[in-house]
Structure 1
Amino acid sequence: MKRTTLTLALCLFAFQAEVYAEVTRAAPLNVKTEAGNIQIKTIAEGLENIWGMAFLPDGNMLVTERAGRMRIVSTTGKVGEPLTGLPPMYAKGQGGLLDVVLAPDFATSQKIYFSYAEPAEGEASELNSTAVSFAVLNGNKLENLTHVFSQQPKINSGHHFGSRLVWAPDGTLFITLGDRYSEKDKAQTLDNHLGKVVRINADGSVPQNNPFVNTAGALPEIWSIGHRNMQGAAINPTSKVLWTGEHGPQGGDELNIDQAAKNYGWPVITYGENYGGGKIGEGTHKAGMEQPVYKWVPSIATAGFIFYTGDKFPQWQNNILLASLKEKTLVRLVLDGDKIIKEERLLKTELGQRLRTVVQGPDGLIYLVTDEAKSKIYQISPQ
């Protein structure tokens, strides 16, 4: 009986190994684009709802799963065990473990910064908000956990956490924050962090040149206001200015050049409408409120994006590569200065998966992660 069981187990192991081998040997997809042909290769799979990814100096990938796990994925696609040392999280709805970035001085400090949905104290509470902490990465452990930001106030909601993290050239940290869906009107007031971009120093303190530091009643971390749910952000390598990507309601996704003290309109002006139909706010324009540099009607559900600066795709230099959740496509945007003059949609037919973010690798290649129950990491290279 034991021998039979062992034989079956060995057969099953051999079958699984064969299946895994087949997956890793799967032929890359070849895709024609307007700017040259590309090749798509599966790097890793078997993860769950990936949200953020950052490359470590050794080429391995630090990956977050929304359910509350952070893992290291090797250059060969081996998925490591979950890292220990994460704080408690509200892993419901759109909440959980979200973005991750390396500290600018990671080479010496080994610090990583990550955003997540933070529950209020008390087991019975459903109140939560977006928070940011950093920790020292030591092998498969996170040590010396330090909390640097909590969105205020906490809300009973499982939606609109925003949550991209972007280092500014001066070493300050931008954090994009959603309006939490049920509190959209608060995106227009300065006494809260809802529907805002905030800017902090690496230690969590407030930069004294933030625009509302000396404004009575304003939270000093605020950089810009009037946002809905920003799940994409990047620094333009030419202008060194922050750009943000924002989900609209049923239409009206936006790409904004995000500047200090500016008001981006939500929910007073928008190109979207209520789910099921119906006007929101006062229209699409209002004095004192910014217009998007680009918009999508209907929505494509914009997620993470980059400005491509590598040398592997010279024809894509300084293009924006943006992940779409709803349309399941990689969007390529061609710029002329700060104007977007062309849009190309890629990979919807070939992949057909919700794309969560785009990352440029240290090798100059492009990496996509999918937001699926069985997420994958793809590598894009020249054909």
Structure 2
Amino acid sequence: MNKHIFIISTLVFYMSCAQPKKKEDIALKAEPQSYKIEAVVKGLINPWGMAWLPDGSILITEKDGRLIHFNAGEQTEIANAPNVFNSGQGGLLDIELHPNYAKNGWLYITYASEEGAENGGHTALIRCKLKNNSLTNIETLYKAQPNTEAGQHFGSRIEFDNDGYVYFSIGERGERDLNPQNTKRDGGKIYRLNDDGSIPPDNPFYNEANAKKAIFTYGNRNPQGMAKHPDTGEIWMHEHGPKGGDEINIIKKGANYGWPLVTYGVNYSGTKITDEATREGIVSPIYYWTPSIAPCGMAFVTGDKYPKWKGKLLVGSLKFGYVELLSLEGNKVIGRQKIAQDIGRVRNVKMGLDGLIYIAVEGQGIFRLIPE
């Protein structure tokens, strides 16, 4: 072989290996239905977050600001929920139990908060306790600033790692050229705190002058899915791209995920945002979708109820009304299947305490998949 042809071929090979696989590379297949879809909670408007209490009952956030306790078929609205900026994508967002909830009783909630000098709102994280169908001991752990009346990109998901740190996401609030690449501003970030709201001194920007010390990653657009890998303990997340370019990323300390300097998407008008899809120093996604599926909610399949699916990744699609079941080989996506087809706009997907897959659907409620 000609020496120059060999060198070029080798370079092309390694460049192709370095690119994350995308939608066109991995065909989306319809999984033969081996389950039935059962309605669990009916009559919900926009169920955003789900968290299971030790007794098997479910706490559900409705974006309009209601926190609902579903127990034995009954829905009870929890009193003293925070006042929310219910505008556009803002409202009452995610909810998560402390890993040691059975001992300490702490709940964690993200929501669009109006607290601050400016009109509008921005994402906040609180922790609180539940007593007699009311929230008590409410503590604000983080409140992003400044408020804005824009209605887009609040994030937000919450996840704990194996060391007890709490992570939460905040979208860039529609200010892509101002927030995500600037560590001195909130928005377009993943944050990490101790469970009491204090900031770990080993956070990547802790010693940077004027930086938001809670930031753990930056260059994010609007992350609305987050899940801990059951084997590695790594925190995975996905985020909305613009028109195209939804991404799956693994959270790494101090990582820049590129928005809006690099993207696989374009403006909603079809015009270019940038000519760059990759750049040195910016972490490429492990997978991306073009066109967008509008991902929301994320979970790994665990337990033994779905033996063929165990270890796979679930991602809900707002745009196409189904759940993607992604096969993994390490940190690579090697297969895609479509389950719960045409169920509706999927706002969240999680594993329940009973080992079943639960799907929250806008305008309907919460369903679960019963293996047959």
How far 1:257 sits from its partner (Å)?
A: 1.1
Summarize deviations over 1:174-213 as a string: whole Å, max 9, x none.
0111000134442011101210001011111101111111
Corresponding pairs, count? 344
Partner of 1:370: 361
| Correspondence for 2:249 among 247, 256, 267 | 256
Matched, 1:78 2:41: no
Which deviates more, 138-147 or 328-337?
A: 138-147
Matched, 1:216 2:200: no
Q: Give, as a single letter, the amino acid of the residue that structure 2 aligns with 1:133.
A: I
How far 1:359 sits from its partner (Å)?
A: 1.3
What pairs with 1:174-323 in structure 2 (closer than 5 Å)?
174-323=167-316
What pairs with 1:145-184 in structure 2 (closer than 5 Å)?
145-184=138-177
How far 1:348 sits from its partner (Å)?
A: 2.4
Percent of pairs with identical residues: 39
Matched, 1:61 2:58: yes
Q: Give, as a single letter, the amino acid of the residue that structure 1 aligns with 2:371.
A: P
Could you tell me whether the CA contact under 8 Å between 1:70 and 1:83 is conserved in 2?
A: yes
How far 1:371 sits from its partner (Å)?
A: 2.0
Partner of 2:45: 48
Summarize deviations over 1:37-63 as a string: whole Å, max 9, x none.
111101111122110001111111100
Give, in whole Å, the separation in 1 of the partners of 2:365 and 2:161. Answer: 29
Summarize deviations over 1:135-185 as a string: whole Å, max 9, x none.
110131111111111113322311100010001111110011100013444
Partner of 1:96: 91
Summarize deviations over 1:344-382 as a string: whole Å, max 9, x none.
112223x2x10011111111111111122xx31101121
TM-score, normalization by structure 2: 0.89
How far 1:34 sits from its partner (Å)?
A: 3.7
Cα RMSD (Å): 1.5
Unpaired runs of 5+ residues, structure 2, are 1-28
Give, in whole Å, the separation in 2 of the partners of 1:368 and 1:184. Answer: 34
Q: Secondary structure at the match of 1:267?
A: coil
TM-score, normalization by structure 1: 0.87
Q: Secondary structure at the match of 2:268?
A: coil
Could you tell me whether the CA contact under 8 Å between 1:232 and 1:304 is conserved in 2?
A: yes
Partner of 1:126: 119
Higher normalized contact order (CA 8 Å, seq sep 6+, divided by chain length):
2
How far 1:33 sits from its partner (Å)?
A: 6.2
Q: Secondary structure at the match of 2:180?
A: helix
Give, in whole Å, the separation in 2 of the partners of 1:306 and 1:332. Answer: 10
Give, in whole Å, the separation in 1 of the partners of 2:32 and 2:298. Answer: 19
Partner of 2:371: 382
Matched, 1:355 2:351: no
Could you tell me whether the CA contact under 8 Å between 2:37 and 2:340 is conserved in 1?
A: no
Partner of 1:28: none
How far 1:299 sits from its partner (Å)?
A: 0.4
Unpaired runs of 5+ residues, structure 1, are 1-31
